[in-house]
Amino acid sequence: MKKEQGKKVNWGDMGIILTLIAMIIFFSVVTKSFLSAKNFANIARQISITGICSVGMTMVILTGGIDLSIGSVIGFTSAVAALMMSNGQPIILASVVSLALGVIIGVINATCINYLQIPAMIATLGTQISLRGAVYLVTGGMPVYGLPESFKVLGQGSVGIIPISMIIMVIVFIIGYIILNKMVFGRKIYGIGGNAETARLSGVNVKKEIYKIYMLVGFFGSLAGLILMSRVNSGQPSAGDGYEMDIITAVVLGGVSVSGGEGKITKVIIGVIFMGVLANGMMMMNINEYWQRVVKGLVLLAAVAVDIRTKNKAS
């Protein structure tokens, strides 16, 4: 027995890859500095943060949910870790506390969704706003400096020419791949997104799985927060602000259906690279930041439009 589909070239699949290649050629021609090992390492560092978060976001969107709070999770958990480190607490302790906070925020999100029955988009919008406020409260609105020197390794170090943060991202992607493709948990995620009531009647404790998924996103968010903090060598109160949109765009570009149940983590990697190259290239071309936003928004719209078109064609 062989897969029936896959023989035909799927425009939705190939389109993004071809566009990415065209974009890389374009930026290589119009800018001098784009095509270099150093810049590629730089892109890798930049995308490791959105990349790590996109694995969790993929799972959430696959269940038919969304997590808008992830940017604020990055900001809040890294601010707390930065404050602890600058006050002389051990790196390990600060990191563990930060990761635990990420998981706790996931628990709060999932509780709002499961028991208060607030739609995921609104529930996580609420935590996004509150957490951003909390970041400004704990930092007093000022950057936190004085991080230990050895902490730099996480975001700035590399093994050979490969940045450590990128290695972490690759590991997270592998974990995501195993969960979604090889584990029972993954089947449950696709099942909940495909038809939550069928999943429940098939014996899945849907609420429990929703908890697990949002806790995982929170964990990945705080991990990304630690890397970002190490890269900029400080705890910034605005850290992660607006990242959720970049992450969601990358996931949707990677072909994950916004209505849940469909999508592959392997393609999300392409979406993440796409967003990274686009942002970096525009920076290299000295396009101003406002225009960059305009472009990113249009990319999100285009990605969703393509998703819906391919869906309509299929049915």
Partner 1 sequence: MEKKPILELKEITKRYPGVVALDQVSISFYSGEVHAIVGENGAGKSTLIKIMTGAISPTEGKMFFEGKEVIDNSPQKAIEMGITAVYQELNLLKYLTVAENIYYNRFPKKGPFIDYQKMKKDAGEVLEHLGVVIDPAELVKNLTVGYQQLVEIAKSLSRTVKVIIMDEPSAPLTNNELKYLFDIVKKLKDEGLAVLYISHRMEEIFQICDKVSVFRDGHYISTKAVVDTTKDELIKEMVNREISDTYPQVEKELGEVSLEVKGVTTSLLKNISFSVRRGERLGIAGLVGAGRTETARAIFGADRMEKGEIYLNGKLLHITSPADAIKEGIAYLPEDRKQLGLFLNMSVKDNLLFSYYPELAQSGLINNKNATEVCDQQVVTLKVKTPTREQLISHLSGGNQQKVIVAKWMLMDCDVIIFDEPTRGIDVGAKQEIYQLINMLAKEGKTIIVISSELQELMGISDRILVMAEGRITGEVDRDTMTQKKILELASVER
C-beta of 1: minimal distance to partner 1 in Å?
A: 4
- Cβ proximity to partner 1, 208 vs 293, nearer residue: 208
> According to CB under 8 A, which one of 218, 261, 271, 281 is a site residue for partner 1?
261
Within residues 152-211, the interface with partner 1 by CB under 8 A covers 178, 182-185, 187, 190-191, 193-195, 197-205
Site for partner 1 (CB under 8 A): how many residues?
26
Q: Does 308 bind partner 1 (CB under 8 A)?
A: no
Per-residue binding string, partner 1, 203-222, x by CB under 8 A, is: xxx-----------------
Residues 6+ apart with CB under 8 A from 120: 60, 65, 66, 67, 109, 113
C-beta of 10: minimal distance to partner 1 in Å?
A: 15
CA distances from 283 to 34, 93, 287 (A): 10, 36, 6
Q: What is the spatial distance between Cα 296 and Cα 292, in angstroms, rounded to a whole number? A: 6
- Cβ proximity to partner 1, 1 vs 116, nearer residue: 1
- Cβ proximity to partner 1, 9 vs 184, nearer residue: 184
C-beta of 193: minimal distance to partner 1 in Å?
A: 8
Residues 6+ apart with CB under 8 A from 123: 109, 112, 113, 116
Within residues 267-296, the interface with partner 1 by CB under 8 A covers none
Q: Which residues of 265-299 are buried (b: 16+ CB within 10 A; e: fewer)?
A: bebbbbbbbbbbbbbbbbbbeeeeeeeeeeebeeb
- Cβ proximity to partner 1, 180 vs 272, nearer residue: 180
Instruction: With beta carbons less than 8 A apart as the criterion, state whether 213 and 27 touch.
Output: no
Give the 3-state secondary structure of residue 287. Answer: coil
CA distances from 53 to 27, 36, 73, 102, 174 (A): 26, 26, 10, 12, 13
C-beta of 178: minimal distance to partner 1 in Å?
A: 8
Within residues 2-41, the interface with partner 1 by CB under 8 A covers 2-4
C-beta of 192: minimal distance to partner 1 in Å?
A: 10
**Residues forming beta bridges with residue 162, ordered by sequence position:** 159
C-beta of 199: minimal distance to partner 1 in Å?
A: 8
